[in-house]
Structure 1
Amino acid sequence: MQSDCDTATERDDYVKNLMEFIPVDSYGVCLRNKELPFGGVYKYSESDGANRNYLNNLFDDQLLSFMAKYKFIVSIENGICNDYVTEKLWRPLEIGVVPIYYGSPLIRDWLPNNKSAILLEDFPTPELLSQHLHYLLNNDTAYEEYLEHKTLGLIANQRLIHEATEGPNQSDFNEMMQEFQCFVCGRLYGRNNSEVQTVTRDHYDCPLPYSALTQSVNPDNKWVKIIADAEESANRMYEEVLNSTLQLRVA
């Protein structure tokens, strides 16, 4: 259902290649070959290229019920970063569909079980992935192993259990956001507003964008240059903050 057709992960290139080996229904703006059976906020608009209101309805019951009819959902993130995990993974897990995931290098830390998702990194090419998908489509027992967290309530990932049960306000999104915002303010200004803490360059830890198709960096990907320019700009700003003798920039 993707509608961002120019991603750092080169998502469309992967899906187009996968389509050569197995049918893929595509409902978004990119590679669109099917129409959603309901309109409203999800209706595609020829005039503006897309109806962006769907971003506010990613977990609508009608949409989730429709997605739940599928056995697999291609879940390739826009970019690769340790802490960047979106609805592309969470929605399939919630509705009992197996996500075919590519994104955060740390994603295994957050899966209910070892077989809760099919990871592209385990299948070097779309053809090999398609062979595994065909096998699962013809073997209900093997397929259902991927859904035991949903069908049987079996969760082996103890870290996930700990975070879900011990973390503050993990079950309520609004409370979680309020808690997180307060946490950020506390770290920036100190609990007594007397100690200021700064973010260091160590937080700039996203790797260069890896192509989902080649699982390596494509030097011709425009996002490689965008990220390099952003890092250079961040380094200049960091130097200016630390060195008060530098001439200030003027707008």
Structure 2
Amino acid sequence: RAEWRRRGYAPLLYLQSHCDVPADRDRYVRELMRYIPVDSYGKCLQNRDLPTSRLRDTATATTEDPELLAFLSRYKFHLALENAICDDYMTEKLWRPMHLGAVPVYRGSPSVRDWMPNNHSIILIDDFESPQKLAEFIDFLDKNDEEYMKYLAYKQPGGITNQFLLDSLKHREWGVNDPLLPNYLNGFECFVCDHELARLEAEKAHAASPGDIPGPEPHIAQPSHMDCPVPTPGFGSVEEIPEN
């Protein structure tokens, strides 16, 4: 990656083609670009082209295309801003740079820290008071290999120190590419079925002995379980946004 930097690549990559999203991410990235070089591909704030016409054509290439992944891996930092800011919404924008050995510069789920391999593996945009302060920190890491590599230490043996994550992986009832376990969708279906079965058994026990055994507590989905907060500007205040 240091060699690609010497060839003129920016430290930061931005790859988005959905531009008008609730998180208003382009407004933040546009301001960040004032303070640090960003190579932007896709349709949003584009200032560079992907290397081949095949990759530029979304009908023939996907974000998991091996050729695209090899190209994206040239970058040290990937801007990873979710479409919306929701508690449990973490997507490939976060996982892809980690898979490629780059450092995500992330804005999205407030609970993201709970699921990181350690407390030094991503850069959280909201930890910085302004895009300028974020740019200064990224520039510092870009020029200091030892400090930069601390963000990739989780890839070394023993580097995953988040005990909550380790316990969750150990005890989950689904797997990835594991023929002995269901995938996460089937695993969730089993989770729902298990809880429904437990509720039915509790209802039967209560019906048989209502004076001794209480009925099961109701579990009803609320909007808070599925809703995302009201969108806010990606940078600045509502009053600063032109009416047009």
The answer for unaligned runs of 5 or more in structure 1 is 45-50, 222-251
The answer to whether residue 179 in structure 2 is matched with residue 179 in structure 1 is no
Aligned residue for 1:84? 89
Residues 64-112 of structure 1 deviation map (CA, whole Å, 9 limit, x = unaligned):
2211111000001110110000001111111110000000011110111
Report the alpha carbon displacement of residue 32 of structure 1 after superposing the two structures with TM. 1.1
1:120/1:212 contact within 8 Å kept: no
Name the counterpart of 1:203. 225
Report Cα offsets for 1:95-138 as digits up to 9, x if no partner: 11000000001111011111100001111111101100111111
In structure 2, relative to structure 1, the CA distance for the partners of 1:19 and 1:8 (3 Å cut) is same
Residue of 162, 167, 176 corresponding to 2:167: 162
Letter in 2 for 1:191: L
* TM-score normalised to structure 1 length: 0.74
1:95 to 80, 86, 100: 100
Change (3 A) 1:153 1:182: same
Residue 8 of structure 1 pairs with residue 16 of structure 2: no
Q: 1:153 to 1:65 in 2, by over 3 A?
A: farther
- 1:145 pairs, out of 141, 150, 161, with 150
Cα deviation, residue 199, structure 1: 2.1
Answer yes or no: is the 8 Å Cα contact 2:26–2:234 preserved in 1.
no
Normalised to the residue count of structure 2, the TM-score between the two structures is 0.76
2:40 aligned counterpart, secondary structure:
coil
Secondary structure at 1:37's aligned position in 2?
Answer: coil
SS at match of 2:228: coil
Structure 1 counterpart SS, 2:173: coil
Whether the 8 Å CA contact 1:102–1:212 is kept in 2: the answer is no
Correspondence 1:31 to 2:34: no
1:191 is the counterpart of 2:228: no
Question: What does 1:112-127 align with in structure 2 at a 5 Å threshold?
Answer: 112-127=117-132
Cα deviation, residue 170, structure 1? 3.2
Choose the corresponding residue for 2:56, options 21, 24, 43: 43
State which structure, 1 or 2, has the greater radius of gyration over its C-alpha atoms: 2
CA distance in 2: counterparts of 1:161 and 1:192, whole angstroms: 27
Give the share of equivalent positions with the same residue, in percent: 41
Gaps of 5+ in 2: 1-14, 204-217
- 1:70 is paired with a residue whose SS is coil
Q: Do the aligned partners of residues 192 and 34 (structure 1) sit closer, same or farther apart at CA in structure 2, a change above 3 Å counting?
A: same
Following superposition, the deviation at residue 165 of structure 1 comes to: 2.2
Cα deviation for residue 38 of structure 1 reads: 2.8
Using the TM superposition, give the Cα deviation of residue 155 of structure 1 relative to its aligned residue in structure 2, in angstroms. 1.0
- d(CA) in 1 for partners of 2:63 and 2:192? 26
1:134 paired residue among 139, 149, 172:
139
